[in-house]
Amino acid sequence: MIDIPELLSSAERPVFSFEFFLPKASSDMDAFVACVRDLKSLGPDFITLTYGAGGTDRERTVEAAGRLQRDTGLATACHLTGIAHTRAEIAAILARLEGFGVRHVVALRGDPPKDGSARPAEERDFAHACDLVRFIRARGGMRMAVAAYPEKHPEAASAQADFDHFLRKAEAGADWAITQLFFDARDYFTFVRRARAAGCKLPIVPGIMPVTGYAQLKRFTGLCGATIPPELDERLAAVQHDAGAVASVGVEWATRQCRLLLEGGAPGIHFYTLNRSRSTTEILSRLRAG
């Protein structure tokens, strides 16, 4: 199985990866694995799986990560959030992942669970993502990605405060970073330049979400704080009731973004697939066609 940070640092070609989310129903797992298999034909180098923070979903996430890696042969990085967990619980989850052969995680603070199971702030073992990274690094055995925000985390007091927190995650022992979605390549390059100037050498992979729905885009960007460029917003608004036309605009915009990013030195592209294959397939086909 590949070592993802080593691949990112040494590959002489772009490294492509896909993010998936756990289906809500256990009965949908077979269809989900089939979707991942469909995208495997595109040759991703690795995949990531988002994390169900509460109870059953948490265990299903760990098991799904193991199944994906086993059944597809693709290195799988399992998202892991610390906000609702104790050190003992995180240690147990890591041991379970290792039992399935999973050796990569995406270490995140996470959002407070909707069921209210998050511990009070003053009692949390992992108040910030850097606390989780530090714990996993001290334990050993895992390679870790962390999140980067080219614009700003919506909860951060300022862009500088958010950037400083990113540096703390890097210093705590992260191996590589994956950015939140964004729609202007200049935001990525500005962030990378700041990171390098601050002495951070982590591979920073841009995260790209192909737009497949206008209302969905508005919801996502509202939650994560990403900006929709006026040109993209106008083009999507004009065709928002035509799903095919929205997807077409999304593919065109993302393909242009990816070309700019790769030409500018990005080590690869991480696609937020939303468990769909069509747009990602089209974008990769265009990139590989030149």
What is the C-alpha to C-alpha distance for residues 64 and 156, in angstroms, rounded to an integer? 32
Mean pLDDT of successive 10-residue stretches along the chain, which has 290 residues: 94 95 86 86 94 68 94 95 90 96 95 67 85 97 97 92 97 98 97 98 97 94 92 97 96 98 97 90 91
Q: What is the DSSP string of the chain?
A: ---HHHHHHH-SS-EEEEEE---SSGGGHHHHHHHHHHHHTT--SEEEE----SHHHHHHHHHHHHHHHHHH--EEEEEEE-TT--HHHHHHHHHHHHHTT--EEEEE--PPPTTS-SPPGGG-S-SSHHHHHHHHHHH-S-EEEEEE-SS--TT-SSHHHHHHHHHHHHHHT--EEEEPP-S-HHHHHHHHHHHHHTT----EEPEE-----HHHHHHHHHHH-PPPPHHHHHHHHHTTT-HHHHHHHHHHHHHHHHHHHHHTT-SEEEEE-TT--HHHHHHHHHHHH-
Question: Domain with 205 in it: what CATH number?
Answer: 3.20.20.220
- Within 8 A by CB and 6+ apart from 95, the residues are none
- Are the C-beta atoms of residues 129 and 169 closer than 8 Å to each other? yes
What is the C-alpha to C-alpha distance for residues 92 and 194, in angstroms, rounded to an integer? 36
Give the CA-trace dihedral at 32, 33, 35, 37, to 10 degrees: 170
Q: How many structural domains is the chain composed of? A: 1
Predicted pLDDT at 254: 97
Sheet containing 207-208: give its strands across: 204-205, 176-179, 143-148, 104-108, 75-81, 46-49, 15-20, 268-272, 207-208
How many C-beta neighbours within 10 Å does residue 110 have? Answer: 19
- Tokens representing 81 are 């959030």
Predicted pLDDT at 115: 65
Angle, helices 159-172/129-139, rounded to nearest 10 degrees? 10
Predicted pLDDT at 56: 53
Cα-to-chain-centroid distance, residue 134: 20
- Are the C-beta atoms of residues 97 and 63 closer than 8 Å to each other? no
Residue numbers of the domain that contains 274: 4-289
At 59, phi and psi to the nearest 5?
Answer: -65, -40
The residues annotated with a catalytic role in the active site are: 19
